[in-house]
């Protein structure tokens, strides 16, 4: 099976079955023995097509007499892949993109379908050099079309950050981001790990202000990394690590991680506490709780008590028991579109309303669990104000005993940061 056929099947699964992009990609790459360069091509095509879907569809319609709704999912997928290669990938010749698409169309369609694909893509290829998206003068519509976003998301981001910053964010979300890892300070340090990973063929560099964080240069495969298997490091984004840095839990403390799965922050907290004290980590799903336990075992951590528990339901036994609380709540995820582009098409305005209600309940329960003098960190991986600064503003109206001592809205950066919000409060 060719790389493009593997990508096509994954895109079909995403479009027709609603598969998550990371799950579809993992399944696609697990079948057969594709060369490394082909795996890279599969990954780029899948992410590129999903990320730029509405813009690609607009381009298709400039050269097709058949409406997209009338096309079969296979033909549409083939066209989308072809357009993505022609308009968004510099290294692939237009002829190769067209020829490979026709070959797939012959297998997944019929003679007329292959001819249709050939005609659309060759016409699109001829026009590609001078193609421009139309400018209506309406910034919401124009940015949404060119960068392939639902208009409601664009409108919200412009409202909070302005047109220039919105465009900048959309550009950043198109870029490949660095791989960052968290050094397990219980087993090693940054310098030692850099040498170990060098022997695995990887170059790393340190990060200012985060002593246990490394940027990895090269293709990191944790499945074949002995350093990973031995628990020397974990994959974790800058922004996520910073939430734990801001929490700053001390050894021998009692910490509650309200929404802990898959365990990255709980384990980072344990490492910061030198594996001394107790961390109660809970999630609503049992299979996710098992992920927390598995992560802790690999890293040599034994102070995490992972349990199935609903963070929106108050547990009276925990009231005023915790020294530190981390409430990394469910959110829209609009800060991680660069690695989960399907969020653009699965999230709705109605979701935000419901998520805000959940966030409010979790935050209220977290406030009840923390001791007087204790610390509460609220965090999300989104950039919407109603889930972040406005959520805290509402919370403080009814919880005057809390004082904000640190607040930061992190925006997506190709250096490795995801969009993230962190607010640290101390209970008086």
pLDDT for the residue 207? 85
281 with 271, same domain: the answer is yes
pLDDT band at 217 (very low <50, low <70, confident <90, very high): confident
Q: Is the pLDDT of residue 415 over 80?
A: no
Task: Please give the Cα distance from 53 to 178 (Å, whole number).
Answer: 24
Q: By mean pLDDT, which of 75-89, 98-112, 208-222, 335-349 is the weakest?
A: 208-222
* Chain position carrying tokens 């079948």: 31
Instruction: Single out the residue in 130, 147, 165 at which a domain terminates.
Output: 130
196 with 267, same domain: the answer is no
Instruction: Single out the residue in 235, 252, 269 at which a domain terminates.
Output: 235
Q: What whole-number percentage of the chain has pLDDT above 70?
A: 99
N-to-C CA span, the chain: 63
Mean pLDDT, rounded, of the chain: 94
53 with 125, same domain: the answer is yes
What global pTM score does this model have?
A: 0.92
387 with 245, same domain: the answer is yes
52 with 156, same domain: the answer is no
pLDDT for the residue 414? 65
pLDDT for the residue 275? 98
pLDDT for the residue 32? 65
In this predicted model, what pLDDT tens digit does every residue of 354-394 receive, in sequence order? Answer: 999 999 999 999 999 999 999 999 999 999 999 999 999 99
Q: Is the peptide bond before 227 cis (omega within 30 degrees of 0)?
A: no
354 with 245, same domain: the answer is yes
415, 239 Cβ separation under 8 angstroms: no
126 with 144, same domain: the answer is no
231 with 244, same domain: the answer is no
Q: Is the pLDDT of residue 54 over 90?
A: yes
Q: Is the pLDDT of residue 245 over 70?
A: yes
Q: By mean pLDDT, which of 172-181, 233-242, 278-287 is the weakest?
A: 172-181
pLDDT band at 132 (very low <50, low <70, confident <90, very high): very high
* CA quadruple 341, 387, 142, 64: dihedral sign: positive
Positions annotated as catalytic residues are: 381
284 with 376, same domain: the answer is yes
Mean pLDDT calculated for residue range 93-104: 95
348 with 379, same domain: the answer is yes
Q: How many domains does one find in the chain?
A: 4
58 with 113, same domain: the answer is yes
Mean pLDDT calculated for residue range 383-410: 97
Residue 12 sits in a domain whose CATH number is: 1.10.940.10
Task: Give φ, ψ of 375 to 5 degrees.
Answer: -115, 135
Residue 276 DSSP label: -
64 with 210, same domain: the answer is no
Residue 204 sits in a domain whose CATH number is: 3.30.70.1170
pLDDT band at 99 (very low <50, low <70, confident <90, very high): very high
Residue 399 sits in a domain whose CATH number is: 3.40.50.150
For residue 115, the enclosing domain spans 3-130
In this predicted model, what pLDDT tens digit does every residue of 152-163 receive, in sequence order? Answer: 999 999 999 999
28, 9 Cβ separation under 8 angstroms: yes
Instruction: Single out the residue in 130, 163, 197 at which a domain terminates.
Output: 130
pLDDT for the residue 219? 82
Q: Is the pLDDT of residue 37 over 80?
A: no
Residues whose CB is less than 8 angstroms from the CB of residue 3 and which lie 6 or more positions away in sequence, other chains included? 34, 38, 39, 41, 42, 45
């Amino acid at each position: 099976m060719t790389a493009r056929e593997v990508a096509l099947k994954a895109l079909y699964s995403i479009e027709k079955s609603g598969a998550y992009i990371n799950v579809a990609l993992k399944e696609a790459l697990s079948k057969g023995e594709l060369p490394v360069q082909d795996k890279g091509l599969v990954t780029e095509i899948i992410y590129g097509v999903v990320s730029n879907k509405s813009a690609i569809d607009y381009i298709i319609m400039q050269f097709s007499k058949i409406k997209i709704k009338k096309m079969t999912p296979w033909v549409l997928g083939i066209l989308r892949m072809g357009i993505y290669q022609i308009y968004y990938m510099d290294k692939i010749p237009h002829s190769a993109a067209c020829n490979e698409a026709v070959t797939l169309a012959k297998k997944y369609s019929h003679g007329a379908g292959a001819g249709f694909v050939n005609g659309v893509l060759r016409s699109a290829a001829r026009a590609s050099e001078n193609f421009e998206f139309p400018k209506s003068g309406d910034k919401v519509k124009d940015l949404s079309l060119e960068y392939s976003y639902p208009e409601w998301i664009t409108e919200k981001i412009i409202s909070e950050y302005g047109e220039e910053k919105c465009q900048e964010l959309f550009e950043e979300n198109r870029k490949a981001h660095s791989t960052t890892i968290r050094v397990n300070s219980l087993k090693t340090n940054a310098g030692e790990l850099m040498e170990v990973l060098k022997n695995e063929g990887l170059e790393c560099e340190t990060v200012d202000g985060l002593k246990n964080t490394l940027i990895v240069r090269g293709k990191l495969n944790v499945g074949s990394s002995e350093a990973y298997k031995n628990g020397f490091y974990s994959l974790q984004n800058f922004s996520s690590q910073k939430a734990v840095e801001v929490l700053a839990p001390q050894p021998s403390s009692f910490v509650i991680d309200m929404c802990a799965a898959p365990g990255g922050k709980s384990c980072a907290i344990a490492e910061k506490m030198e594996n001394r004290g107790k961390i109660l980590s809970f999630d609503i799903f049992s299979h996710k709780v098992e992920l927390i336990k598995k992560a802790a075992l690999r890293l040599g951590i034994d102070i995490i008590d992972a349990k199935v528990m609903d963070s929106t339901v108050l547990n009276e036994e925990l009231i005023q028991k915790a020294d530190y609380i981390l409430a990394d709540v469910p959110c829209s995820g609009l800060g991680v579109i660069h690695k989960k582009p399907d969020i653009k098409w699965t999230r709705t305005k109605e979701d935000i309303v419901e998520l805000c209600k959940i966030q409010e309940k979790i935050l209220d329960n977290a406030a009840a669990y923390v001791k007087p003098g204790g610390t509460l960190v609220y965090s999300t991986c989104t950039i919407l104000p109603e889930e972040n600064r406005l959520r805290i503003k509402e919370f403080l109206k009814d919880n005057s005993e809390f004082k904000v001592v640190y607040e930061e809205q992190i925006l997506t950066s190709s250096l490795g940061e995801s969009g993230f919000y962190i607010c640290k409060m101390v209970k008086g």
